[in-house]
Amino acid sequence: MDEPRWLDEREDRAWRGYRRMRRLLDLELARELMQDAGLSEPDYDVLSDLSETPEQRLRLSELADRMLWSRSRLSHHISRMQQRGLVTREECATDGRGSVVALTPAGRQAVEAAAPGHVAAVRRHLIDRLTPAEMSALGTLSQRVIDHLTGRVTGHPEAKD
Amino acid sequence: MDEPRWLDEREDRAWRGYRRMRRLLDLELARELMQDAGLSEPDYDVLSDLSETPEQRLRLSELADRMLWSRSRLSHHISRMQQRGLVTREECATDGRGSVVALTPAGRQAVEAAAPGHVAAVRRHLIDRLTPAEMSALGTLSQRVIDHLTGRVTGHPEAKD
DNA sequence: CCTACGTTGATGACATGTCAACCAAACTGC
DNA sequence: GCAGTTTGGTTGACATGTCATCAACGTAGG
């Protein structure tokens, strides 16, 4: 193992800043969402993903993949949301093993009630704090990191590879 | 409540990208850290914060504030880390209620063993994927969002206020 | 002093997330 | 068809985080 190459000042600033922003943003968005709509962020994400779908329903594994959750986690979470009447489980027509998660009317109503306030909070705490250039930079930088982590691409951003 | 103002394409790209990057980065860094050093990210953060301190020890509440954790969470976590011999609790000399968390030799050894690999992973998955301009943008943008959330500053980045 | 009130940290009950074991249905090749 | 394997999902045990509560202590005002 070579001697470690620590972060220089600029790198450290970006890394620590990113993590602190992350944490504060999470805390605040979760707080407001719970207060205004009675939903946790995971709740909201599930409802939101389902509502963006044409049929308001998704295979459990499909939803888990989109959210980057384990099937186990999603299964537990869906059970809890089912208890609260936000979603239901249906059998899958094409695969006897499968189960389909569907939004209930109450679930749809919950996202629709929550969404405007949540988007406004995201705007207030993040979007409106960014210059257009920063917004673009965040978008492209995120995408590049995602591509790298999902193995679609390697190499330094400058390298055309 | 006015009609909601949804995110436009650029905003949506930044927001979704940020969240996906966040999740993937977390999963990967946590995975490598656990595999290489047997530490969770919270473990590492505690040890790291303690090791950056002159005396290798901090008041529980001080550490909780730095990490943006609740005292309760930290208290529970310290108990678990104490079981594993990574930290100890000491009485506070100046305040009979207080307790001080201190790194044990094993704890110090654990961070020192973990740090090079962890920093390398941060570099590989994030830092090295960013152009210098993106790095700076991430730093300043984070700081601005942090300042806003901690009530130090308000207003749009352009507005000199 | 001493009393009222805020702070510090621990604790237990509970909510949530992870991990591994498991079952049943669906493929696979013969 | 059918044994062996893979896949989709559930489950229970356990790890972790949150919330309300509590006891001990500190601080300020009489």
Domain residue ranges in chain B: 40-111
- Does the pLDDT value for residue A160 go beyond 70? no
Q: Cα(B126)–Cα(B131) distance, rounded to whole angstroms?
A: 10
- Does the pLDDT value for residue A88 go beyond 80? yes
Strand order across the beta sheet in which B57-59 lies = B57-59, B99-103, B87-91
What local confidence, expressed as pLDDT, does residue B160 receive? 37
- Does the pLDDT value for residue B158 go beyond 70? no
Mean pLDDT of B16-39: 98
What local confidence, expressed as pLDDT, does residue B1 receive? 56
* pLDDT per position as a tens digit, B111-141: 999 999 999 999 999 999 999 999 999 999 9
Spell out which residues of A between 16 and 35 contact strand D, using CB within 7 Å. none
> Any long-range contacts for A145-149 (C-beta under 8 Å, 24+ apart)?
A145/B21, A145/B24, A145/B25, A145/B125, A145/B126, A145/B129, A146/B17, A146/B20, A146/B21, A146/B24, A148/B125, A148/B129, A149/B21, A149/B24, A149/B25, A149/B28, A149/B125
User: Is the domain covering A22-147 a CATH 3.40.50.180 domain?
Assistant: no
Nearest CB to B146: which of A10, A21, A128? Answer: A21
3-state secondary structure of A27: helix
Distance of CA B85 to the CA centre of its chain: 22
Q: In what helix (H) or strand (E) does residue A117 lie, and over which residues does it extend?
A: helix A105-125
Whole-number Å distance, CA A87 to C1' C16? 18
Q: From the CA of B141, how many Å to the nearest CA of chain A?
A: 7
Mean pLDDT of B21-45: 98
Strand D closer than 7 A to residue A71 Cβ:
yes
Average pLDDT over chain A, rounded to an integer: 93
Nearest 5°: the CA angle B138, A15, B145 is 50
CATH class of B40-111: mainly alpha
Mean pLDDT of A85-91: 97
Please tell me if residue A41 touches chain B, with a CB cutoff of 8 Å: no
* pLDDT per position as a tens digit, A35-77: 999 999 999 999 999 999 999 999 999 999 999 999 999 999 9
Please answer whether residues A43 and A81 qualify as being in contact, where contact means their C-beta atoms are separated by less than 8 angstroms.
yes
* pLDDT per position as a tens digit, A100-117: 999 999 999 999 999 999
Distance of CA A156 to the CA centre of its chain: 26
Q: Cα(A154)–Cα(A159) distance, rounded to whole angstroms?
A: 9
* pLDDT per position as a tens digit, B41-94: 999 999 999 999 999 999 999 999 999 999 999 999 999 999 999 999 999 989
